[in-house]
Amino acid sequence: MNDLAASSCEACRIDAPMVSDDEASVLIKEIEGWHLINDGVKKLKKEFNFSSYSDSKDFTNKVADMADQEDHHPQIILEWGKVTVIWWSHKIKGLHKNDFICAAKTNNISKN
């Protein structure tokens, strides 16, 4: 387990600092398979592939449970054999370290 996955999210305030581009370029290397996207808001995105809808649904539920525990919630798109997870911090309209922590935790869920 990497340091990010072992961390917990901190409460995100509206004045919390966003992760800088330099910080993001370092942190992204710790979360295998994730991509930085920008649709007007910087976000982390990854697609996970599964052999059935049931497996996709089970993964989605595990990610949702982890998100509730961390009190940090992603966009999750559930499809047959595929789940897309997108993390960003709504309050600051961008990326916070919490997003990288939850992306690392999401990767761990996918390996179990």
State mean pLDDT over 99-106: 97
Q: pTM of the predicted model, to two decimals? A: 0.93
Instruction: Look at residue 43 in the predicted model and tell me its pLDDT.
Output: 98
Q: Is residue 72 part of a domain?
A: yes
Structure confidence by residue, pLDDT tens digits, 16-39 = 889 999 999 999 999 999 999 999
| Residue 20 confidence (pLDDT) | 95
For residue range 51-70, list pLDDT tens digits in order: 999 999 999 999 999 999 99
Structural domain count, the chain: 1
Provide the mean pLDDT of the chain: 93
Can you give the pLDDT at residue 112?
Answer: 81
Q: Which residues span the domain enclosing 89?
A: 18-111
Let me know if residue 7 belongs to a domain.
no
Query: For residue 2, is it within any domain?
Result: no
* Per-residue confidence band for 2, with pLDDT thresholds at 50, 70 and 90: low
Does residue 1 fall inside a structural domain?
Answer: no
β-strand pairing of 35-38 with 75-79 = unpaired
Tell the residue number behind the tokens 């387990």, with chain if given: 1
Letter for the amino acid at 33?
A: G
Q: Is residue 12 part of a domain?
A: no
In whole angstroms, give the CA distance from residue 73 to residue 65. Answer: 10
